[in-house]
Structure 1
Amino acid sequence: MCGRYASTLPPEMMVELFKLMKSLDIIPRYNIAPTQPIAAIWEAHGRREAHFARWGLVPGWVKDPREFPLLINARVETMAEKPAFRDALKHGRCIIPASGYYEWHTNPDKTKQPYYITMEDGRPMALAGLYATWMGPNGEEIDSVATITVAANAQLSEVHDRMPAILRGNEIDDWLNVRDVRAREAHQLALPLEDGALKFHPVSTRVNSARDDDPGLIEPVTVERPEPVRKKAAGGQLDLF
C-alpha cells in the first residue's frame, strides 16, 4: 500500500505539467500522511483543476464520516465491485501529483525499513486516484480521495508486494476524462509500471512520524542488513527460519 508520499512541485510547474486552469497555493511537503488535506486534480464541466481534498475517501452515501473506516487506498482488483469505490471509478477519477512515495520493507527480524521511491528519470508522478464529495445535513461539503494500488512489479517486490498505479502521458488524459472514457476502459489504465521505471533507496525511520516533514526525510541512509532469524530444529540445533 501507499501510506506516505512527498510532493515538492512548485504550483506553476503543476499548472504546466497537468494542464490546469489554475493553480493551488501549496508548499513543498516531504511526509504527507492520511487524513491530511492533499492536492488532487480532476475534471468538472470541461475544466481541469486542482483541489484540496482529505486523504481518506468518504463516499457520498455515508451518514457520518466519523464512523466510517479510513479508506486511503483502493485495490485495483476489487475497486469496480466495492460500493465505496464503484461510483467514483465511473464519475470521480483523479490524479494526485507526487515527487515520490514511501514504502516499508519488513525485514526477517520483523523490523521495518522505509524506502523512498521515485521515477528513474526524475519526473513527477501522477498517482491514479478516486474522489468523492460528501455533503452533510447542514450543507457542509468534504472532498476526499483514495489512491489506487496494484501488484508490485518484480523490481518493487524487493520492497513491498503492492505499489501505487502511476499514470503517464495520454493515460492521464484518459483517466481524467470521465465524460468519454468509461470505467471499464479506465480500469485497464491502472497497471504496474515496467521494471526499471522506478528507483528507490532506504531513508531514515523519522518518516514514521507524521510530525516530521523536512527535506532530510528523502535523503538516502546506510542500513545494516539484519541477521537471519533462526529457530531450533529437531535435536536442538539452530536452522535458518
Structure 2
Amino acid sequence: MCGRYAATLPPEMMVELFNLLNQIDFPPRYNITPTQPIAVVWEQSGRRTIQLVRWGFVPGWVKDPREFSLLINARAETMAEKPSFRDAVRNSRCIVPASGYYEWMKGKDGVRRPYYITMADGSPMVFAGLYSTWSGPDGEEVDTACIVTVEPNLEISSIYDRMPAMLTGENVDLWLNTRDIDTRAATQLALPLPAGSLKYHPVGKAVGRTDVDEPALIREMSAEELAAEDETRARKPKKAAAGGGQLDLF
C-alpha cells in the first residue's frame, strides 16, 4: 500500500520534466494523505497537462461516492479485470510526481516504525496512476485518482509486501499514451524497479498524523532519537480505540 507520500518538486520543474502545457501552484507537501488534492499528469489528444484531483478513485458509474469504498491504490496484477479500474487502465492513465513515500515496518520488538523511501540517485519518483471523472446528478464533476502498486523489489521487501509502480525513461511516455498503448501493453509497464534503485531511512512517527505537514517529517532519525521516541510513546497511557468504522490506512 502507498498511503502517504511527499511531493516537493517546484511547479516550473514539473513543467520541464514532463513537457506540460500548463503550470499549477502547488506548495511543497511532506505528508500527502488520501482524500486530499494531489497533482497528477495526464495526456489527452497529445496534450499533456497537470491537474489537481482527489486522491481516492471513484469510477464514473458510481451513483453516490459517499457510499463507495476509498480506493487509493490499484493492484497492477488485477487492475485490467477489476470493474472499478479496467476502463481507466485503457483510457485514463496518469502519472503522480513524488519526491518520496512512507511505509511502516514492524521491528523485532513488534513496534511499527515509518520509513521514508526515495530514489537512490535523488531523482524524482513517477508513480503510475489511474484517474476518473465522476459526474453528479446536478452536473457537478469531480476528478479522482489512485496509485498503481506492484510487488516489492529486493530492498522494499524487507519493509512491506507492496510498493508503488514507478515509471522511468520512455515508460513514462508509453504509460501516458492511451491512444497507441493498449491495456495489455500498459500493464506490462507496471513493474517493480530493479534492486538498488531505492533507498530508505527511519523517520519520526509524526508522519502518522494527518495534521502535520512539514520538512522535518522526512529527516532521518538517529538511533538515539528513535529510542527516545519509543520511550516517550511507552510512557503515554494507551487511548481507547476510536469507534465509527474509521479506516486504518496502515
TM-score, normalisation: structure 1: 0.92
Deviates more, 1:197-206 or 1:217-226: 217-226
Q: How does 1:85-100 map to 2 (within 5 A)?
A: 85-100=85-100
Q: What are the superposed Cα offsets for residues 51-85 of structure 1, whole Å, 9 maximum, x if unpaired?
A: 00100000000000000000000011111111001
Counterpart secondary structure, 1:22 = coil
Instruction: State the partner residue of 1:233.
Output: none
Code of the residue aligned with 2:170 in structure 1: it is N
Code of the residue aligned with 1:161 in structure 2: it is D
Instruction: State the partner residue of 1:65.
Output: 65
Q: Distance in 2 between matches of 1:108 and 1:60?
A: 44
Q: How does 1:94-173 map to 2 (within 5 A)?
A: 94-173=94-173
Q: Distance in 2 between matches of 1:222 and 1:86?
A: 44
Structure with max Cα Rg: 1
Code of the residue aligned with 2:117 in structure 1: it is I
Residue 9 (structure 2) pairs with residue 5 (structure 1): no
RMSD: 1.2
Code of the residue aligned with 1:89 in structure 2: it is V
Structure 1 runs (4+) greater than 6 angstroms displaced? none
Q: Distance in 2 between matches of 1:108 and 1:117?
A: 20
Counterpart secondary structure, 1:118 = strand
Instruction: State the partner residue of 2:21.
Output: 21
Q: What are the superposed Cα offsets for residues 110-148 of structure 1, whole Å, 9 maximum, x if unpaired?
A: 321000000011000110000000000111001000101
Q: Distance in 1 between matches of 2:68 and 2:21?
A: 33
Give the drift of 1:155.
1.1
Q: Distance in 2 between matches of 1:148 and 1:32?
A: 16
Q: What are the superposed Cα offsets for residues 22-49 of structure 1, whole Å, 9 maximum, x if unpaired?
A: 1111100000000001000001122100
Q: Distance in 2 between matches of 1:74 and 1:107?
A: 27
Q: Distance in 1 between matches of 2:26 and 2:154?
A: 34
Q: What are the superposed Cα offsets for residues 148-170 of structure 1, whole Å, 9 maximum, x if unpaired?
A: 11000111111111110000110
Q: What are the superposed Cα offsets for residues 156-201 of structure 1, whole Å, 9 maximum, x if unpaired?
A: 1111111100001100000000001001001000000011100000
Instruction: State the partner residue of 1:231.
Output: none
Instruction: State the partner residue of 1:44.
Output: 44
% of aligned pairs identical? 60
Give the drift of 1:109.
3.7
Q: Distance in 2 between matches of 1:107 and 1:61?
A: 42
Q: Distance in 2 between matches of 1:110 and 1:138?
A: 50
Q: What are the superposed Cα offsets for residues 201-232 of structure 1, whole Å, 9 maximum, x if unpaired?
A: 00000000011000000000134689xxxxxx
Code of the residue aligned with 1:34 in structure 2: it is P
Code of the residue aligned with 2:69 in structure 1: it is P
Code of the residue aligned with 2:20 in structure 1: it is L
Aligned length: 226
Counterpart secondary structure, 2:14 = helix
Which structure 1 residue ranges, 5 or more long, are not aligned?
227-241
Which structure dedicates a bigger proportion of its chain to strand?
1
